[in-house]
Every structure is written in C-alpha cells, then in structure tokens.
Amino acid sequence: MKSLAALLSLAGSLASVSALAVDTGLIPAGASITPSRFEVLKQRAPKLKKCSKTDDWGNAVEGDRTKITIRASKDDNDDISEDFLWAIKEANNGGLLHLEKGKKYVIGKKLDLSFLNDVYVKIDGELKFTNDIEYWQSNNFYYDFQKSITFWVWGGKDIKIYGSGTLNGNGQAWWDGFSGAEILDPNNTYYRPILFLTDNATNIEVKGLHLKDSPCWTNFFVRSNNVVFDDVYISAVSTNVSSLPKNTDGFDSLNVAGLTVLNTRVNVGDDCFSPKPNTTDILVRNLWCNGTHGVSMGSIGQYPGVKDYISNAYLQNITLLNGQNGARLKAWAGPGVGYGYISNITYEDIHVENTDHPIVLDQCYFDIDAEQCAQYPSKVDITDVKFINVHGSSSGLEGRVVADLTCSPGATCSGIHLERIDITSPKGEPQIVCENIQGDIGVDCISKEEAGN
C-alpha cells in the first residue's frame, strides 16, 4: 500500500511538469512531453507488464499514452508545421499528439506523414492551412487521378485522429480564384488542395472532428485499407455569392478496401459520398447530406484502357436534402474511356427532399450528349444493385420522373431491383424510367420517350 502511494506521488510530480522536455533541451519552444502513467510506473517497477486495456486495434488507450503538445500559432501567418512534424514523430509508435481546445495551429508547409505507426492525434483546437495559393500550387503532393493535389499525406498503420476540433482548409480564397473554371476541363491548371488525404494507410479512424472549407475535395483515400469515419461534420460554405465551393466532395477513394462512414453530416457543393475506382467493402450508415450532388458509386471508367470497379457496398439510413442527386451510379462514356463494373450495391432506407434526381443510373458521364453516348457507349457493367425503401420528394426539375435508370447499349445492366419506392414529384404522378435494363426491376417503369409525353 505504502509503496504504491509513493509511486503515485512520483507519477504526479513527473507528469505535472514537462520534465523530459526541459532536460533534453531538444524540443521546440513551447512544446511539452508528458509521460504516460504506464511509463511513470515502469520507472520504479521495470518488470511491470503492459497495461491490459487496449483499443480496437490492440494498441494502448489514450490514458496510457505519452502526450505531446506544441505551441499554438500567434496569428494566421504563424506557421507551426515544423513543430507539428516534430510532435507527430515524437508521438509515433504509441504516443499521443494533443492540439488543445481554444488554440489555433497554422500549417503553411507541405507535410509528409507517410511513416506513421500506432499514433493518436487528438484535435480539440483548430488546425488551419494558410491560403498562400502561390506556395501551395508549387509545393504539394500530386496524384494523376483527376490531377489531385494535397497539403499533406497521411500513411502507415493504426492512426486515430479525433477530438472536438476543426481541420480548416481556408477554402474561400481558393474558390474565389477558381471561379468560372471547371475541374474536369483538360486545360484547367488551377489545382486546389484536398483537405485530408491518406495514401498507403491501414487502419485509420477519424472521429468527432469538423472538416471545414476544403479548397477542393474534402477527403481522398488512396490505396488504403480500413478507413473509418464516425461522428464527423463536413462543411464548405462560401461567403461570396459569385464563387461557389466547387468540387468540395465529402468522400472520394481510389484503390481502397474497407471504407466506413457513420453518423456523419455533410454540407458541401458537390458529391456527399462518392467512392471512385477500385473501392470495395463500403459501409455507410446514418449519413445526412444537404445541398450536395448526392451519394454516388463513381464516377468510374474514366481513363482509356483502364479497368475500374466498385463492389460490395451497403448504404443505410441516408437523408439527402436540397441536392442534385439522391442515390446515383455514374460511369463514363465517350471516345477513349475505360471499362469495368459496379456490383453488389444496396441502398436502403433513403430519405430525399427537394432533390432533382432522387434515383439515377447515369452512364453518359461526364457531360456527354445522347448522340455521342450512343456512339461511344460506356463499358462499365452494372449488376446487383438494390434500392430499397426510398421515400420523400423530388424537386420537380425532371418533371414527374423520380428515378432514371438509363443503361448504356455498350454495357450490361442486370439484377437492378427497386422495392418500396415512394417518392412524390410536385409535377404530378411520379414516373420511373428504365432503358436497356435486363430483367424485371421490381416496379413498373417506362421508356424515356414515354416519360417525355
């Protein structure tokens, strides 16, 4: 009893000051290292076994981790990226980096965080990127896929990023500068950074944060496994009526196995959730989207000769308000596109309100007119897709049409099943359009031509 008390009092004295930090003299000004309670106890009792409590991935829980803090920024130009990099290296392999509540941390240089292994990053404050467009357009990480750039790359294994704080992309200046341009225009060279990007990551969880005002896509996961988002809020709202927060997609992915999004709200100017080529094992539950381009599988099949696929997705309890699309499948057509498939996708319990296209199968992406699309049809097959219990209202933009399933003549669309569809249109009795779909889709449907009449 007595020795335990002595240990605890030692623990208290060690933990209360940044003892190690001061001693080494190697740490940046204003930073601190607080040993975990386990480290403290182990100094006196070297035979002490590792604490038995672990997280989902078998690693130490928050309270058993050495905690690192860094100084906050004085203003929006006070770049702390070097301190941040030092701290995440220090916290790597079992520690915790804490960005404290009420403080702002400004990142003004690109960061390679591809080396991570068992690290917690707790963000209760605000981590904000500078809007030095000139700097970021010549200093970034570049991905060929849709010419994507980012401020930083997160990679490695067992990474948790969580807390009540904000990642702020400071997007307004980027949206203003991009005004009038198009991201898919092959001549566009005004690239804008993605707010959060993983590459070669296995087990990465983001929880509780607000992801705010990304200059371009909010999240992009590249060749990663088991990405989990829970209780996240994503917003991109412009304060300038003449510049929209364009292409601020909630979620995009490329070559990802295991993508889970739970209990999340998205208020952005483009897709809410839209996995891209080679994404499998998708789970989305309790997602709310406002003013978005919908929850899409794709687009895929963009690049000539390249095979793309999306398979095994279950999306349940999704609310989509005031947007262009509800549940959508999108594949490219036209001269010089790719091929592949979208298969085994279930949309269940989907609520739409004031939505232009509540259910869409679009194989004439991007912006291909009917004639060109017929001449160069999509080569992406769409099989085993279910829409179950989709209800609410369309905006009436497409007249009475509330579901448009138009399969390209170059592709196979089979196993498409609709059940309990109850979507009203302000323009009258709702219509469901189906073209070139093999087999019974489970509900009455008419051709595009009939719908026009």
Ligand X SMILES: *[C@@H]1O[C@H](CO)[C@@H](O)[C@H](O)[C@H]1NC(C)=O
Residues 146 and 278: their CA atoms lie apart, in Å, by 15
Tell me whether residue 293 is one of the annotated catalytic residues. Answer: yes
Structure tokens at 411: 């592709």
Name which of 125 and 155 has its Cβ closer to ligand X: 155
Q: Which residues pair with 413 in a beta bridge?
A: 382
Q: Which of 118, 199, 270, 356 is catalytic?
A: 270
Residue of 98, 199, 210, 293 with catalytic role: 293
CB of 322 to ligand X, least distance (A): 5
d(CA 273, CA 249): 7
β-sheet bridge partners, residue 313: 282, 345
Question: DSSP states of 343-368 as a string?
Answer: EEEEEEEEEEEEESEEEEEEEEETT-
Nearest distance from residue 170's CB to ligand X, in Å?
13
The C-alpha angle 252, 257, 259, rounded to 5 degrees, equals 50
Question: Which among 211, 87, 195 has a CA at the least distance from the CA of 141?
Answer: 195
**In which residue are the tokens 């869409």 written?**
360
Nearest to 398 by CA among 436, 433, 444: 433
* Tokens representing residue 283 in the block: 């789970």
> Considering beta carbons, is residue 203 or 219 the nearer one to ligand X?
203
Residue nearest to ligand X (CB): 291
Query: Which is nearer to ligand X, 39 or 308 (by Cβ)?
Result: 308
Instruction: Supply the minimum distance, in Å, between the C-beta of residue 105 and ligand X.
Output: 25
Residue 423, exposed/middle/buried by CB under 10 A (0-12, 13-18, 19+)? Answer: buried
Closer to ligand X by CB, 11 or 320: give it. 320
Q: Please give the Cα distance from 258 to 314 (Å, whole number).
A: 11
Q: Which is nearer to ligand X, 267 or 406 (CB)?
A: 267
Closest separation between CB of residue 4 and ligand X, Å?
39
**Catalytic (active site) residue 98:** no
Closest contact distance (angstroms) between CB of 8 and ligand X is 37
CB of 310 to ligand X, least distance (A): 10
Q: Which is nearer to ligand X, 187 or 453 (CB)?
A: 187
Which pair of tokens denotes residue 207?
A: 């929880």
- Sign for the pseudo-dihedral over CA of 289, 157, 27, 16: positive
- Residues within the interface to ligand X (CB under 6 A): 156-157, 176, 179, 185-187, 200, 240, 242-243, 255, 267, 277-278, 286, 288, 290-291, 306-308, 312-314, 317, 319, 322, 344
Chain mean position to CA 199: 13
Q: Is 161 helix (H, G, I), strand (E, B) or coil?
A: strand
Residues annotated as catalytic are: 270, 293
